[in-house]
A and B are shown apart, each in its own frame.
Chain A
Amino acid sequence: MSAVAIAASPLSGGASRFERNPATRDAGWVKALVLTVGLLFFLIFLLMPLIAVFLEAFRKGADVYFASLIEPDALSAIRLTLIAAAIAVPLNLVFGVSAAWAIAKFNFPGKQFLITLIDLPFSVSPVVAGLIYVLVFGLQGWFGEWLSAHDIKIIFAVPAIVLATVFVTFPFIARELIPLMQAQGRDEEEAAISLGASGLQTFWRVTIPNVKWALLYGVILTNARAMGEFGAVSVVSGHIRGETNTMPLHVEILYNEYQFAAAFAVASLLALLALVTLAVKTYVEWRLAHPTPRETVS
């Protein structure tokens, strides 16, 4: 819900409502001081790293930039990243919608605990997230002997990369949907059912339209985190060039080989993805704060 509140700030030009009210107005020097210190911090800690990615990427010119994006290892890393995201995002989408439906529309004991468990991957170190799959599927792990006897490779291969990606992006869609669907309640769905709609009709025609913007942001954020995951994937990947390297791992390898321009070139694609994600988030928050008349009615 915080998203709604942030976007709802009525600061469209001129003084803010806090600045117009004498009781909440700060002295001019206070405003100047707060903004100078705050924005300087923003500039050094957030803006500079972002700009540095793009400038370093083009340091050796556009030729090197594009050459480092189309060389075979980079293309293979991009392909694997797309595959991992293409599997992880739909899996977590189905999970997120299903968890949000159960939690927001029904009462059951242990609900709060379930929400806490869904948040769990968020506070687990990505390195630990990778390690747990090594313990289950690795050669020393629970299924290690059986898997190697049947010649099935999970660790140091694509399946483990997908699993690790699913783990680290697990909560995002559920976290976007649960508070929104809880706030919306279940009156509309119950009305639809009592008017004779089937459960599926209610879900597609009432629930989904009501949450579509939050759902969109959840998917975009999950996608960005899936494509950018480093720690968890690093543990399970085995770093086989051209085979089990994702884009962030490819960035690491290039960087460690002192191919800085190439490393930053691949990194710039991921930074671009992050910017698109933030743009979508801003748009979604604006949509949630300014519903069209039809959306308000429905």
Chain B
Amino acid sequence: MYVKETRVLPGFGLSLGYTLVYLSLIILIPISAVFIKTFEMTFEEFWSAVASERVVASYKLTFGASLLAAAINVVFGLLLAWGITRYTFPGRKIVDALIDLPFALPTAVAGISLTAIYAKNGWLGQYLEPLGIKIAFGPAGVLVALVFIGLPFVVRTIQPVLEDLDAEYEEAAASLGASRWQAVTRIVIPALLPPLLTGFALAFARAVGEYGSVIFIAGNIPMVSEITPLMIITKLEQYDYRGATAIASVMLVISFLLLLVVNGLQSWSSKRTGRTV
């Protein structure tokens, strides 16, 4: 990896030095505060904060809804990516551009808008509630918000790979007598597996930490529809800084692990597809 070389270009020391100092001041040192403060606690104190009944219920909801939302996005994200890259239809460019909306739209805006749609008297809620489908102010609302924010991650990881996938493989399959269904399921989908998994992991990682879009639509009922980031806020509002820090340390460890998984998937993906995603 590291080859000793004469550097022609100037500014290596300055740019790397500045990068490391800024990274440390803004990101690393403040984050380390969470762990240092956590280690100041006794184990009992830590455990009672992170494993209380209400917090455990929030883990179940956060991880369950995030997994489900990422899975939904993999299915529909694949269909959308497929439609955008492989077909022509009116408005294709607009659809393509708007896929990134959840990435650019502030989460609080998404939150109140989704609530307006799914509340009892809302755009869709007024038709869904008489059918017994209650979305806003319950766990289903959390799921809807997480599906919203996760979609671009899946579409944008599949899209370039689908775009680059050489038609030759499908041509070979067709000339060897494979049906279109066989070509898609045996050639295209396996080739898309790395980006699908990467997109899933990215959407999941984003969903686990999401706060703004969820709290408006969730209803935030204890034991039922409270997400883990909200538990940190609740502890802070009760001036329970140690409890909040303990839960934050759990979430940070999970973030680190997910980041490692995503990195691993991305390098696997770029090896498989010969491109950097």
Using Cβ atoms and an 8 Å threshold, which residues of chain A touch B212? 126, 230-231, 234, 248
Verify if B42 is at the interface (C-beta below 8 Å from A). Answer: no
Q: In the complex, how many angstroms separate the beta carbon of A149 from the nearest chain B beta carbon? A: 20
Residues of A109-145 at the interface with B, using a CB-CB cut-off of 8 Å, are 109, 114, 116-121, 123-128, 131-136, 138, 140-142
For A243-267 the 0/1 string (1 means CB < 8 A from B) is 0000111011001000010011001
* Closest A residue by C-beta to B12: A106
B18 and A98 form a contact (CB under 8 A): yes
B109 and A98 form a contact (CB under 8 A): no
Residues of B231-274 at the interface with A, using a CB-CB cut-off of 8 Å, are 232-233, 236, 241, 244-245, 248, 251-252, 255-256, 258-260, 262-263
Contact of B109 among A30, A47, A270 (CB under 8 A): A270
For A223-238 the 0/1 string (1 means CB < 8 A from B) is 0110111110011000
Interface size class of A (residues with CB under 8 A): 35 or more
Verify if B88 is at the interface (C-beta below 8 Å from A). Answer: yes
Q: In the complex, how many angstroms separate the beta carbon of B87 from the nearest chain A beta carbon? A: 5
A142 and B109 form a contact (CB under 8 A): no
B76 and A41 form a contact (CB under 8 A): yes
Verify if B52 is at the interface (C-beta below 8 Å from A). Answer: no
Using Cβ atoms and an 8 Å threshold, which residues of chain A touch B5? 107
Verify if B107 is at the interface (C-beta below 8 Å from A). Answer: yes
Residues of B88-114 at the interface with A, using a CB-CB cut-off of 8 Å, are 88-89, 92-93, 95-102, 104-110, 112-114
Verify if A295 is at the interface (C-beta below 8 Å from B). Answer: no
Bound complex: CA A175 to CA B8 (Å): 25
B171 and A21 form a contact (CB under 8 A): yes
Bound complex: CA A213 to CA B1 (Å): 31
A125 and B87 form a contact (CB under 8 A): no
Query: With A123-B259, A264-B112 given, is the CB distance from A26 to B96 under 8 Å?
Result: no
Q: In the complex, how many angstroms separate the beta carbon of A287 from the nearest chain B beta carbon? A: 14
Using Cβ atoms and an 8 Å threshold, which residues of chain A touch B117? 48-49, 52
A193 and B19 form a contact (CB under 8 A): no
Q: In the complex, how many angstroms separate the beta carbon of B253 from the nearest chain A beta carbon? A: 11
B9 and A193 form a contact (CB under 8 A): yes
For A174-185 the 0/1 string (1 means CB < 8 A from B) is 000001000000
Nearest 6 pairs between A and B by C-beta? A228-B106, A125-B209, A199-B10, A230-B212, A231-B211, A23-B171
Of the A-B pairs whose beta carbons lie under 8 Å apart in the complex, a sample of 19, sorted by A's number, is: A11-B92, A23-B167, A26-B87, A34-B83, A98-B18, A99-B23, A101-B15, A107-B3, A109-B2, A116-B259, A123-B258, A124-B209, A126-B107, A128-B209, A131-B245, A131-B248, A190-B9, A270-B108, A281-B100
Chain A residues close to B by CB (< 8 Å): 1-2, 5-6, 8-9, 11, 13-19, 21-24, 26-27, 30-31, 34-35, 37-39, 41-42, 44-50, 52-53, 56, 94-95, 98-99, 101-103, 105-109, 114, 116-121, 123-128, 131-136, 138, 140-142, 163, 166-167, 170, 179, 186, 189-190, 193-194, 199, 202-203, 221, 224-225, 227-231, 234-235, 247-249, 251-252, 255, 260, 263-264, 267, 270-271, 273-275, 277-279, 281-282
Question: Besides A17-B167, A127-B248, A132-B33, 6 other CB < 8 A contacts?
Answer: A9-B163, A48-B123, A136-B30, A190-B9, A263-B112, A278-B104
